[in-house]
């Protein structure tokens, strides 16, 4: 009963903040903070995502896909989606994104600190179960294709090689983003064990990313099913 009341209060708070934002009763910083809480995205990461989206048009940020829809003289317009569903569209003044240190993390304890969500963890075991925003993914898959690596300039100021390998199991396929030495570590038809990966959305499709804590190991698994294209 208590958990139900807390969730109902949380939903009521969400609706009130969204309505207040529409009436310009809360600042853009407070609104972004609200979105970061609602979609479990780090506030600083959300701000950096807006900056990178302004430069690259589109970027994944946790459960959210951030798109820069329009660049104006004084502000930029952004669209946020979650699994292809529209979350919000809003504008951010250019001076804030030019110096994100101007945006301090708002303190809204009266809205969020007393609300706790039930601990629901999805642990997918097959590719068909993967959804955008999932984290800590562990599964086995077969390498179907490893396209020629492209040399890209990263946001850290250096160059790196990247390839979106196609992997498969008996339930489906998904692209796996590989960087630098991990590209040469795999080959077509090998079976890999993927650990601590996350699902993001890039250019309209889901893909697996390992991140700094993810692991990829080639394993001996003769009984793992071969992929057959439909």
129-149 average pLDDT score: 91
Q: Are residues 140 and 163 in the same domain?
A: yes
The answer as to whether 228 is a domain residue is: no
Q: Confirm whether pTM is higher than 0.85.
A: no
Across residues 150-154, what is the average pLDDT? 82
Note whether residue 224 is domain-resident: no
User: What are the start-end ranges of the E strands in the chain?
Assistant: 58-61, 64-71, 75-82, 85-93, 137-145, 150-153, 159-169, 172-179, 191-202, 205-209, 215-219
Looking at residue 213, its pLDDT comes to: 82
User: Looking at 56, 81, 112, which one is the last position of a domain?
Assistant: 112
Kindly state whether residues 22 and 100 are assigned to the same domain: yes
Residue 63: domain span: 2-112
Give the chain's mean pLDDT: 78
Whether 104 and 132 map to the same domain: the answer is no
pLDDT by residue (tens digit) across 172-211?
A: 999 999 989 889 889 998 999 999 999 998 888 899 998 7
**Residues 66, 143: one domain?**
no
pLDDT category at 164 given cuts 50, 70, 90 is very high
Residues 7 and 97 both lie in one domain: yes
Mean pLDDT of 156-185: 89
Domain match, 19 and 87 both: yes
Report yes or no on 226 lying in a domain.
no
What is the crossing angle of helices 28-38 and 43-56, to 10°? 110
Determine the average pLDDT of the residues in 135-144: 91
Q: Which of 24-38, 74-88, 113-127 has the highest mean pLDDT?
A: 74-88
pLDDT of residue 115: 40
Burial of 106 (0-12, 13-18, 19+ CB in 10 A): middle
9 with 106, same domain: the answer is yes
- Residues 2-29: tens digit of each pLDDT: 444 444 454 555 555 455 544 456 677 7
Q: Are both 184 and 104 inside the same structural domain?
A: no
| pLDDT score at 173 | 94
Give me the pLDDT at residue 2, please: 45
**pLDDT value at residue 5:** 46
pLDDT for res 118: 41
Q: Is residue 18 part of a domain?
A: yes
State the DSSP code for 41.
-
Do 47 and 95 lie in a common domain? Answer: yes
* Measured distance CA(183)–CA(188) in Å, rounded: 11
pLDDT digits (tens, 9 = 90+) for 71-108: 888 888 999 998 878 888 888 888 877 776 656 555 55
Q: Name the domain count of the chain.
A: 2
Is there a domain that residue 49 lies in?
A: yes
């Amino acid at each position: 009963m208590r958990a139900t009341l807390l969730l109902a209060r949380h939903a009521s708070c969400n609706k009130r903040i969204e309505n207040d934002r529409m009436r310009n009763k809360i600042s853009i910083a407070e609104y972004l903070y609200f979105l970061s809480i609602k979609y479990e995205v780090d506030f600083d990461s959300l701000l950096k995502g807006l900056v990178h989206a302004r430069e690259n048009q589109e970027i994944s940020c946790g459960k959210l896909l951030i798109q820069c829809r329009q660049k104006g003289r004084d502000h930029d317009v952004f669209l946020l989606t979650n699994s292809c569903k529209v979350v919000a569209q809003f504008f951010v003044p250019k001076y804030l994104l030019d110096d994100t240190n101007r945006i301090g993390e708002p303190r809204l304890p009266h809205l969020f600190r007393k609300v706790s969500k039930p601990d629901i963890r999805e642990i997918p075991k097959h590719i068909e179960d993967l959804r955008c925003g999932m984290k800590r993914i562990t599964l086995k898959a077969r390498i179907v294709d490893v396209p020629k690596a492209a040399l890209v300039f990263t946001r850290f100021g250096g160059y790196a090689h990247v390839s979106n390998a196609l992997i498969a199991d008996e339930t489906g396929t998904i692209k796996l983003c590989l960087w630098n030495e991990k590209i040469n570590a795999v080959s077509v038809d090998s079976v890999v064990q993927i650990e601590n990966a996350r699902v993001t959305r890039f250019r309209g499709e889901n893909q697996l990313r390992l991140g700094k804590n993810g692991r990829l190991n080639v394993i001996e698994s003769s009984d793992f099913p071969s992929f057959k294209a439909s």
